[in-house]
């Protein structure tokens, strides 16, 4: 992402408030970052933190997450509709009675 933005390691280190050697070690996978450092880098690169954890070339992660949310919502919707259908069927199977106290007109 840094290269996409035309940013040098030094500039990213500056924006993320990290040392240049530490930034170099991160990019060469010589060290792992803390959650705080991950947030600093994400902020400096204008991305969501999880995007920095996705392997390069694996585009569409955010689309996968959106798709997963959609699938979960559809499952909940189906479950709710199923519950409503069963409740209506249960009510419809009960014998009808006009014991509501209303007068027939």
Alpha helices (H) in 3-60, listed in sequence order: 9-15, 20-27, 35-45
Residue 54 Rama label (left phi>0; alpha psi -120 to 50; beta): beta
* Total structural domains within the chain: 1
Q: Is residue 60 situated within a structural domain?
A: no
Categorize the per-residue pLDDT at 74 as very low, low, confident or very high, splitting at 50, 70 and 90. Answer: confident
In this predicted structure, the answer to whether residue 68 has a pLDDT above a threshold of 60 is yes
The percent of residues in the chain predicted with pLDDT above 90, rounded, is 23
pTM of the model: 0.51
Mean pLDDT of the chain: 80
Asked whether residue 17 is assigned to any structural domain, the reply reads yes
* CB-CB contact of 11 with 41 (8 Å): no
Nearest to 41 by CA among 58, 55, 22, 65: 22
- Enter the tokens of residue 16: 């993320």
Classify residue 105: in a domain, yes or no. no
For 26-48, how does the pLDDT look when each residue is reduced to its tens digit (9 = 90+)?
A: 888 888 888 899 999 999 999 88
Which structural domain range is residue 37 located in?
9-52
CATH code of 43's domain = 1.10.260.40
């Amino acid at each position: 992402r840094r290269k996409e933005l035309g940013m040098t390691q030094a500039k990213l280190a500056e924006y993320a408030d990290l040392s240049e050697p530490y930034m170099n070690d991160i990019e060469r996978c010589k060290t792992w970052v803390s959650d705080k450092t991950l947030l600093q880098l994400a902020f400096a690169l204008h991305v969501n933190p999880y995007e920095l954890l996705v392997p390069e070339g694996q585009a569409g992660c955010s689309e996968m997450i959106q798709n997963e949310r959609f699938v979960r919502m559809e499952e909940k919707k189906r479950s709710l509709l199923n519950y409503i259908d069963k409740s209506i069927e249960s009510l419809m199977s009960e014998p009808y009675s006009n014991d509501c106290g209303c007068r027939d007109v």
